[in-house]
Amino acid sequence: MPSMQPKPIHAAVLSLVIAAGAATGAWWGASDHQLIAPAHAQTAPATAPLVTGLPDFTQLVDAVGPAVVNIRTTEKISTQPSMSGMDEDMLEFFRRFGLPVPNVPRQGTPGGNADEGEERPSGVGSGFILSPDGYVMTNAHVVEGASEVIVTLTDKREFKAKIIGSDKRTDVAVVKIDAKGLPAVKIGDVGRLKVGEWVMAIGSPFGLENSVTAGIVSAKQRDTGDYLPFIQTDVAINPGNSGGPLLNMRGEVVGINSQIYSRSGGFMGISFAIPIDEAVRVSDQLRATGKVTRGRIGVQIGQVTKDVAESIGLGTARGALVSAVEPDSPAAKAGIEAGDIIVKYDGKSIDKVADLPRLVGNTKPGTKSSISVFRRGQMRDLTITVAEVEPDEAQVARAEGKSSPGATATAKQIGLVVADLTEAQKKSLAIKGGVRIVSAADAAARAGLREGDVVLAIANSEVSNVKAFEAVLAKVDKSKPLSLLVRRGEWTQYVLIRPNGK
């Protein structure tokens, strides 16, 4: 058998190797055929991995699982078309997305009618035990419209529960079962929760009791509602998980699983949980009085854009723009005006528009609070007495300014024709001054202005009438974007007119 010999190295290849060695300062040794590094070369120290292994959730399940419950509800129906042809999971899907439940005739019931007073299943969800004496927290949409609530523990015991109270705005409800010595959850600190942290959910997806899923925190302070900054996770949440706990790795509840983002009705990798600190604040009120009391100041608010903030001298885009003030409201009595930008409330900065309703809502009615507004280039500090949100809160009356004859002047530079307001129009709009737009063209039209709009200020300067409007306009630099504070119906907002379409 011929001996195996290494293949010869082609001269060109050898030259390439030598050149590479010369370039890098490394050479092949003649005797041991190993790469010899130059003395000055340093090997980078190995960096320890930031994450090693995967978490083990078994101890969490053993510790917290017994405090998680399954919730079934029934509903009394009258002689109306029944919806019970739809299964419980699909009913839960419609409720959690706030969709109207369609009338589906029940099988075996001629004409879709049912016997008056008949009980039928209306939903399924999850919950968790707050205290050993039987208080259970869940979602408001889980028990909404229920005539009977059945709570099933992990040891298969079933209890009829009494609804202590529910709050639709936060989707939090508290029910009570007649039992003692129950295993209760531990409440965690949402402030310590970090994006990327492992979390776990226990619930009853599709009625499958005590199902465990896990994932990470995808985001915090996710704005999807007026009063709640949600926790976003990628934990698998499906119909039936609603009301179940979201747990950190210490076995503490940090949220209530409440919503999902879905195009199909199933889990798509994005789910939302109510922060437990917000939920506990609501549950405490529900347990004490059966309802939630919130503060209100009587303003309609909008976002402050970057362009507007820069044009009016606010700097960064922050605060809440007051677009309307309800007559005889706390805001009106405190001197807040349409066009003000609320930048602080009770000493807390308003970084985004959603911050204000949360802070005001959490204020006890009757409390005197400080409020800072940015008005026409200056900061103003006001004091406001917070009122209580009423169940049927009156809406701000719409006051439309109607065209009427009057003095007109043409502001050719920005494409506006304006007229003085009549006293009746001022009274109707609850304003002291301003000018009504008769027609808008060119740059003004491109900015969205139209006939009937009322200009209250130009470049942070109030305009009480056409004469004042022309005087202010004559002084501004028309080569730069021009900010106008404009009233349209009940809404007030800033509009930027850009020269030459810039």
The catalytic site residues sit at 141, 171, 242
Cα 201 to Cα 211: distance, rounded to the nearest angstrom: 8
Give yes or no for a contact between 490 and 452, defined as CB atoms under 8 angstroms apart.
Answer: no
Q: Give the chain's end-to-end CA distance (angstroms, integer).
A: 86
3-state SS class at 261: coil
Give the C-alpha separation, 347 to 341, whole Å.
15
Cα(406)–Cα(131) distance, integer angstroms: 70
Task: Judge residue 19's burial from the number of C-beta atoms within 10 Å of its C-beta, 0-12 exposed, 13-18 middle, 19 or more buried.
Answer: exposed
Q: CA–CA separation, 55 vs 65, rounded Å?
A: 17
Residue with tokens 């050993």: 132
What token pair was written down for 332? 């009106």
Q: Which helix (H) or strand (E) holds 370?
A: strand 368-375
Please report, for the chain, how many H helices and E strands are present, in that order: 11, 30
Question: Backbone phi, then psi, for 479, in 5-degree steps?
Answer: -85, -10
Closest CA to 456 of 478, 433, 483, 429: 433
Whats the size of the chain, residue-wise? Answer: 502
